[in-house]
Structure 1
Amino acid sequence: MTSPYELSVRAILERLIAFPTVCRTKNVELIDWVEAFLQGLGARCHRVPGREDGRFNLFASIGPDTPDGIVLSAHSDVVPVEGQPWTTDPFVLTERDGKLYGRGSSDMKGFLACMLVAARYAASQSGLSAPLHLAISYDEEIGCVGVHSMLHDLAARGFQARGCVIGEPTGLRAVSGHKGKLAARIVCHGLAAHSANPSRGCNAIGLATEMVKAIESLQEELKETGVQDAQYEVPYSTLQVGLIRGGVALNIVPDQCEVQFEMRLLPGVDPQPLLDRLRAVADRLCAERRHARIEIETLNTYPGLHTSDSASFLHEIMRITGDNAPSRIGFGTEGGLFREYLGMPVVVCGPGSIDRAHKADEFILPEELQDGVRFVEQVADMLSRS
């Protein structure tokens, strides 16, 4: 039987994918396995529980206890597979036609597997002058909610490092920025009545349509006159409505309608003025229509990431990747939170492609995994030269 400490990166990925760590479910079995693996290498491990039973973050360090180490970070959770037309078992790593299929293979257990290989590599080095840190979070896929307890704990302990690599799938391009996100809910309350005489009621769906119009108007304004950054595929901040629920029957004036929307904001763009604009519209509607009441609630938010193009840590990573300039990405990561809590430069860089994530038959190429291993081992080599 092969020792865990002799497993190839592919074999490690196979173990990780076998843990069905779907977001909003327990990840304790995966954390148990990873922690045992790291402790066998002599790592100093610190498990940080979340508020939910059976869900944990894990932070581990290898090497001297100095403030100039490097953090490699991955989330342990994956998105659900229900309703997707998989042609393989999503929780069994399956090779077919030169591809390795499995939920999380690209997003982002592939990088987590590379991290464990990097830890083994770092533990074998005798000349480390700074530590390699591994940060593993939970429930990233529902808005980066799980990592807060770990980052709060690290900040309270005065943790410092020279930089952090978030290994989301970028094709191993060095990324220095991404947008932030705010998710919110608008609940419109009216008054039910028979549809034969709708004027006796207050139509909550009608209120909701006005709020949707206000969101679309703000979107157009941001597109035309808002802050722009041409390095992003969509160079402006965006708002969009994703869910509407309202009404119980066609012949009843609806007394409630819920609208959920999101903002994808360029780094540094404050969502509060936009929310204030929407609340002003809601107040006007309530003043104009009897029985109307509108609530606006923020459900989740995380900041964008902006690492300065002049940051030395960014340039060290770019020397490894061979990038002449950093990239920007449209999807979010935990990077902005690492920056916000710990004040360190953050680079997003990992193997695989985000285009394969969250879909049926998600995969990573074997050569991408090996490239990921070479990348993290070169990052670990930085700790011997510091």
Structure 2
Amino acid sequence: MHVEDILKKLVSFPVLGGQSNLAILEWIQSYIEGYGITTTLVPNQEGSKASLHCRIGPAVDGGSILSGHMDVVPVEGQDWHTDPFVLTDKGDGKLYGRGSCDMKGFLACCLAVLPEMVKATLTKPIYFAFSYDEEIGCLAAPELAEHINTFYTEKPKYALIGEPSLMQPIVGQKGIYIMKVTVEGSAGHSSRIRQEVSAVHEAARLILWLEDRMNRLVEAGHLDERFHPPHTSFHIGMVQGGVAPNVIADKAHFFVDIRTIPQDKLADLIAEFEAHCKIEEARLQKTFAGSRIRIEEDHPPVPPLDTTNDAEVVALIKSISCRQDVGTVAYAAEAGQFAEAGFQSVICGPGSIAQAHRANEFIAKDELQKGVEMLQKLVALSS
């Protein structure tokens, strides 16, 4: 099948992050196995979702993993001019549809080049590693990467994560962690503000402490100019608490989005915040003994990526992508997880991240072709 025909089929599966992906998975599995390649599934506990991996070529060390995710983000509330789950060619050199860019375009390139991989006399294997639930926190990749590590007798060396980068090799990404902070105080009349513990007031103090901690990291020189912003960031995007303007709130909570540069250790930052919260909790309990501050993990942490410019995988991706300039990104992706599993990892794929997650998402046809050509060059280098 031509790459555009494959992409059209993939886009037709409206599998959102968090939903069962079995429909698109079964189609991909059937397609791959149609070329005589055995696939392996890595399901979730309920069996409602699964990642897939397979090997094309000999069982020898030093192969390359091609990785991507099968899920997409919602379209509700967006001003789409076409059916988002019907790949649409308007004749302007672009293909419109949800996931066309992020990142079913790369999956289509992998599947389109599969026949050439099968026909080639590969001396180094090429692996597919397709995951689920990337869009809600990169949830499946750690188990997928570890399964590859233990399932095969040989050891893959490189991992190419095909997120849209306009074919630029991306050697760094920020890590991400989202936590929920809940404050419990004492309800009362607003005139008793000195006699009760306002959960909203305390939540505000904690939020300002986090902002100040971010600023102190910058002042202490915790900078990585490859990123924008060039430092670890703390962002509070959701705050909820209180029942009325004249009632002291006994409960409040907020979510913290932490995006770490590679040099900053997430565990240290969390431990410092937890220590501060314990001090604050003890202070609040002097006014109301039932005061509590609780910190919960909203999503498991996604580690940063920090591949050195002189790593072998960077030279490889430069040679097949035909771009010599490397970059970094502030968004989270599965590359850090594959690197943590022991694979030299780089992000590189067709399309622009500027098109991701928005209405009328598209991938340019010439970008899709560049993705195909990149993988064809990988086949040639692996033969």
Pairwise CA distance, 1:196: 4.2
Q: State the alpha-carbon separation in 2 of the partners of residues 282 and 162 from structure 1.
A: 43
Q: State the alpha-carbon separation in 2 of the partners of residues 190 and 53 from structure 1.
A: 41
Pairwise CA distance, 1:24: 0.5
Partner amino acid for 2:172? G
Q: 1:262 aligns with which of 257, 263, 276?
A: 257
Match of 1:235? 230
Contact 2:93/2:366, CA 8 A, preserved across alignment: no
* 1:345-360 aligned within 5 A: 345-360=344-359
Contact 1:268/1:304, CA 8 A, preserved across alignment: no
Q: What's the secondary structure of 1:216's corresponding residue?
A: helix
Match of 1:4? none
* 1:245-256 aligned within 5 A: 245-256=240-251
* 1:1-386 aligned within 5 A: 7-96=1-90, 97-125=92-120, 127-157=121-151, 160-289=155-284, 290-291=287-288, 292-299=291-298, 300-341=300-341, 343-384=342-383
Q: State the alpha-carbon separation in 2 of the partners of residues 200 and 268 from structure 1.
A: 44
Q: State the alpha-carbon separation in 1 of the partners of residues 263 and 47 from structure 2.
A: 35
Structure 2: give runs of 5+ residues left out of the alignment: none
TM-score (ref. length: structure 1): 0.94
1:37-76 alpha-carbon deviations (Å, 9 max, x no partner): 0001111210110234421100011111112211100000
Partner amino acid for 1:106? C
Q: What's the secondary structure of 1:32's corresponding residue?
A: helix
Structure 1: give runs of 5+ residues left out of the alignment: 1-6
Q: What's the secondary structure of 1:112's corresponding residue?
A: helix
Deviates more, 1:65-74 or 1:223-232: 223-232
RMSD: 1.5
Pairwise CA distance, 1:156: 2.8
Q: 1:177 to 1:258 in 2, by over 3 A?
A: same
Pairwise CA distance, 1:288: 2.1
Q: State the alpha-carbon separation in 1 of the partners of residues 213 and 148 from structure 2.
A: 38
1:7-44 alpha-carbon deviations (Å, 9 max, x no partner): 21001000000001100101101110000100011112
Partner amino acid for 1:87? H
Percentage identity across aligned positions? 35
Q: State the alpha-carbon separation in 1 of the partners of residues 249 and 156 from structure 2.
A: 55
Q: What's the secondary structure of 2:301's corresponding residue?
A: strand
Contact 2:190/2:248, CA 8 A, preserved across alignment: yes
Tell me the matched-pair count: 376
Q: What's the secondary structure of 2:382's corresponding residue?
A: helix
Deviates more, 1:292-301 or 1:163-172: 292-301
Deviates more, 1:45-54 or 1:256-265: 45-54
Deviates more, 1:240-249 or 1:287-296: 287-296
Pairwise CA distance, 1:155: 2.6
Q: 1:262 to 1:30 in 2, by over 3 A?
A: same
TM-score (ref. length: structure 2): 0.94
1:257-313 alpha-carbon deviations (Å, 9 max, x no partner): 111011111114211222222223322222222232101123220110111222122
Q: 1:218 to 1:159 in 2, by over 3 A?
A: farther
Q: What's the secondary structure of 2:129's corresponding residue?
A: strand
Pairwise CA distance, 1:200: 4.2
